Amino acid sequence: MADPTSDPRPLDLGALQILLDGVRDLKIACVGDLMLDRYVYGEVSRISPEAPIPVLRAGRTVTMPGGVGNVARNVAALGGHARLGAVTGDDAAGRDLTQLIADEAGIEDFLVRPEGASTVVKTRFVAAGQQLLRLDDETDQHADLNDSAAFASASAILLSDYAKGVVSDGLIAAALAAAQAGGAPVVVDPKGRDFARYGAVDVIKPNASELAGATGLPVETDAEVEAALTALLAATTAKAIVVTRAGKGMSLARRDGAISHFPGRAREVFDVSGAGDTGLAALGLALAAGSSLETAVQFAILASGVVVGKAGTAVVTPAELIDAEMSQHAHAAHAKVTPLDELAAEVEGWKRQGLKVGFTNGCFDILHRGHVAYLAQARGWCDRLVVALNTDESVRRLKGDGRPVNDLDSRAAVIGGLSSVDRVTAFGDPTPMALIERLRPDVLIKGADYTREGVVGGDAVESWGGEVRLAAFSDGYSTTRTIEKMKDQA
């Protein structure tokens, strides 16, 4: 059995923002079983005299696309362009479903509507935040969809199999052919016991129960999951398996034998309906954007963790993911914000351990991709990186009225949330010279828009044996440009 890798490093805020920027407007084919999800919300105040069951006094009813429709909704909500390929019925529920999809921004309709076909409807009855009953209205016959125009020009193909008949062998073959022609990854949310039927897809994403059913093996512990994943890979031609394990997170097995366990995020769980759809959407978007499987899994964990805190079949937005990530790392980020006297003692301790200490400074007002790349490069030149932020008054002197957009506490929390940054401090002087002399860093880093001679403190750092490095900036990114763009769009 392969040696597992436990607790891989999670996404930090900077990496998340870059990923969210990268998935924007990507065309994602979402193909599979479509249904209408209906929620009837009401109150229960008594037990029926006819049987020992609660009596629900119905209130409002909410309907939304379910199954692959919810996958498409999540793709669109996260900034992608969903190409929805599915079958819907020639009935009232089908017409409602078609209108709901038409009303969703970011979803392109490739639906097939066979004459006489019926729509799958799942009705959930809810009181006091708890589901009392789910009523499924469906027929045994469902029209096949052996190919889909949604596959064309897609950056990723997501197959959502709810065992309603749409994800046939013909559809799988068409998806694999389209993926091979266009270079798109194929991710399957499976059903049943025969996962070999999906062929050489990039990822199969079962939940723990489905993994157990497909292999006949227990899946409670990490060791049991590893054995089941290894068995499933041996029984299929899939390149990787990602199993979702509810509060335990997710586990990833690659065909090369590597197995990784990713812990879940602590969340208040309100409703798990559709969480698998959200995870599928996030996984596919991240892979389409060129992320590693490990990063894609972390993205899916974050998105699924947010959506289970919502009622009903829900979606998650980029803003919600950023808020969740900031909350997750707020304590750790604030712990990096350190007063000068304490920081000087820490830096001295690092040096006694033989660690190389780097130092850079700036306003870092609105964090953007260029900042993240700059700090990652800076961290590559040292063992510990200290970032000194201009105080709010200092930023105003440098940038003018209206700046900073974000106050010092906010900027410190965001910068501290980056894995490339070890400590954050602040200075209000015109230059950081006093800080540099107090901390005596081994590496002084500024942007490549400076010259070596123009770097404040460069001579001092070199006098005690340190070095000055100029880090490249990503073209096209700046706080000033971001602010101008915001004003133009106002």
Question: What residues act catalytically?
Answer: 277
Per-residue buried b or exposed e for 212-250, using 16+ beta carbons within 10 Å of the residue's own CB: bbbbebebeeeeebbbbbbbbbeebebbbbbbbbeebbb
Rounded to 5 degrees, φ, ψ at 139 are -105, 165
Instruction: Give the separation between CA 305 and CA 294, rounded to whole angstroms.
Output: 17
Of 225, 167, 169, 161, the residue nearest 190 (C-alpha): 161
Residues in the chain: 490
Q: Is the peptide bond before 404 cis (omega within 30 degrees of 0)?
A: yes
Instruction: Give the separation between CA 119 and CA 34, rounded to whole angstroms.
Output: 8
Of 400, 328, 313, the residue nearest 365 (C-alpha): 400
Tell me the C-alpha to C-alpha distance, in Å, between residue 109 and each of 88, 158, 175, 428.
Answer: 11, 15, 17, 56
Tell me the C-alpha to C-alpha distance, in Å, between residue 371 and each of 315, 338, 425.
Answer: 29, 21, 17
Encode 402-444 in three state secondary structure.
CCCCCCHHHHHHHHHCCCCCCEEEEECCCCCHHHHHHHCCCEE
Of 90, 109, 59, 26, the residue nearest 286 (C-alpha): 26
Instruction: Give the separation between CA 211 and CA 233, rounded to whole angstroms.
Output: 11
Rounded to 5°, the CA angle 160-161-163 comes to: 155
- From the centroid of its chain, how far is CA 306? 10
Long-range contact list for 341-346, CB < 8 A, 24+ apart? 343/386, 343/423, 343/425, 343/439, 344/438, 344/439, 346/423
Instruction: Give the separation between CA 414 and CA 417, rounded to whole angstroms.
Output: 5
Tell me the C-alpha to C-alpha distance, in Å, between residue 486 and each of 21, 250, 323, 490.
Answer: 16, 38, 20, 6
Q: Which residues have C-beta within 8 Å of that of residue 312, sequence separation ≥ 6?
A: 37, 39, 62, 64, 124, 271, 273, 274
> Is there a contact between 85 and 149 (Cβ–Cβ < 8 Å)?
yes
